[in-house]
Amino acid sequence: MHELKNKTEIGYIKQACRIVGELLIYLKEIAKPGVMTKWLDEKAEDFIRKRGAVPAFKNYNEFPSSICTSVNEEVIHGIPGTYRLNEGDILSIDVGVNKAGYFGDAAVTIPIGQVSPEKSKLLNVTEASLYAGIQKAIHKNHVSDISKAIQGLVEGNGFSVVRDFVGHGVGKKLHEEPPIPNYKTPGRGPRLLSGMTLAIEPMVNMKGFEVIIKKDKWTVVTKDGHPSAHFEHTVLVRDGEPEILTMV
For binding to Mg ion (CB under 5 A), which residues are involved?
A: 105, 199
What single DSSP character describes residue 232?
Answer: B
Give min distance, CB of 232 to Mg ion, in A: 6
Contact 37, 83 (CB under 8 A): yes
Nearer to Mg ion among residue 115 and residue 234 (C-beta): 234
Residues 191-204 as b or e (16 or more Cβ within 10 Å = b): ebeebbbbbbbbbb
CA distance 62 to 4: 28
CA distance 228 to 71: 8
Give min distance, CB of 24 to Mg ion, in A: 13
Cα of 244 vs its chain's centroid, Å: 13
Residue type, 155: E
Give min distance, CB of 124 to Mg ion, in A: 21
What residues contact residue 169 under an 8 Å CB cut-off, 6+ apart? 2, 3, 175, 176, 177, 178, 180, 196, 197, 198, 199
Nearer to Mg ion among residue 195 and residue 202 (C-beta): 202
Burial category of 121 from C-beta neighbours within 10 Å (exposed 0-12, middle 13-18, buried 19 and up)? middle
Give min distance, CB of 86 to Mg ion, in A: 26
Nearer to Mg ion among residue 123 and residue 203 (C-beta): 203
Give min distance, CB of 105 to Mg ion, in A: 4
Nearer to Mg ion among residue 41 and residue 105 (C-beta): 105
Residues listed for the chain: 248
CA distance 248 to 236: 14
Give min distance, CB of 87 to Mg ion, in A: 29
Nearer to Mg ion among residue 115 and residue 205 (C-beta): 205
Nearer to Mg ion among residue 67 and residue 115 (C-beta): 67
